[in-house]
Homo-oligomer: A and B are copies of this chain.
Amino acid sequence: MVQNKKIPDSAQPGPEKQILIAAKEVFLEKGFDGARMQEIADKAALNKALLHYYYRSKEKLYRVIVKDIMDQFFPVVFGVFDETGSLSDKITRFFDLYIGFLLDNPLVPQFIIAEIVRKPEMLMEFFSGPMESGVILQLSELIDECVRKGEMRPIPTEEFLMNLISLSVFPIIAKPILMNFLEKDDKEYNELINERKRVTADFFIRAIK
């Protein structure tokens, strides 16, 4: 028997999974350059050589983590534009879900932005997959339909999408700066963002009317 691992599936608990959990924490916080294999090993309470035994190299391990993070980030949330309801309802629901997700996982967008700038070639290969779901075409059709029904003015799909994402994501990734700028502590800032779920939806809906 060549394959005789006790736990061949890395989704099960065990050293492989421990490594993934620790690696995700460290890579999210420090990025590829800042992450240390020793720190990952320490956090997983395992010998450093095990990381190489299971994942060959730092880069290979990084790729596994990146895929995991990407699958998390390119969210089903865009599915809200499929659901029934008025355009306003959809937009309100989008901001509620998306900002909610970002509040729960603030390191995820920070990681993607920081790493895409520093190691673009490493991240880019993971973009083709989730992207091809036809979100843009689908959104385009929705906008056309709403314009016909007089629910909104005509707006280029690119602008619509960019503004949607900008207004959701930026306040999260720039949190350390904006906290300081607006003189809020952590709790106050999170409350501000929570209010933004409603406030920004309102802002957006008025803008496209």
Interface centre among A118, A170, A173, A176 (most CB of B within 10 A): A170
Q: Which residues of chain B have C-beta atoms less than 8 A from A1's C-beta?
A: none
Q: Which residues of chain B have C-beta atoms less than 8 A from A113's C-beta?
A: 110, 113-114, 173-174
Tell me how many residues of A have a C-beta within 8 Å of chain B: 49
Q: How far is the CB of A87 from chain B (nearest CB, A)?
A: 15
Is A101 interfacial (CB 8 A cutoff)? no
If over half of A's interface residues share one DSSP class (helix, strand or loop), that class is named, otherwise mixed; here it is helix
Q: How far is the CB of A169 from chain B (nearest CB, A)?
A: 6
Q: Which residues of chain B have C-beta atoms less than 8 A from A15's C-beta?
A: none
> Does B171 lie within 8 Å of A166, measured CB to CB?
yes
Whether A118 touches B127, Cβ cut-off 8 Å, given contacts A33-B34, A159-B199, A200-B163, is no
Q: Which residues of chain B have C-beta atoms less than 8 A from A117's C-beta?
A: 110-111, 114, 173, 176
Q: Which chain B residue has the least Cβ–Cβ distance from A111?
A: B117
Q: Which residues of chain B have C-beta atoms less than 8 A from A206's C-beta?
A: 206-209
Docked pose: A206 CA to B203 CA in angstroms = 9
> Does A131 lie within 8 Å of B33, measured CB to CB?
no
Binds B, one of A16-24, A61-69, A143-151, A178-186: A178-186
3 tightest Cβ-Cβ pairs between the two chains A and B = A207-B207, A166-B170, A33-B33
- The interface of chain A, by Cβ under 8 A from chain B, is 30-31, 33-34, 110-114, 116-118, 120, 124, 127-128, 131, 136, 155-156, 158-159, 161-163, 165-167, 169-171, 173-174, 176-178, 180-182, 192, 196, 199-200, 203-204, 206-209
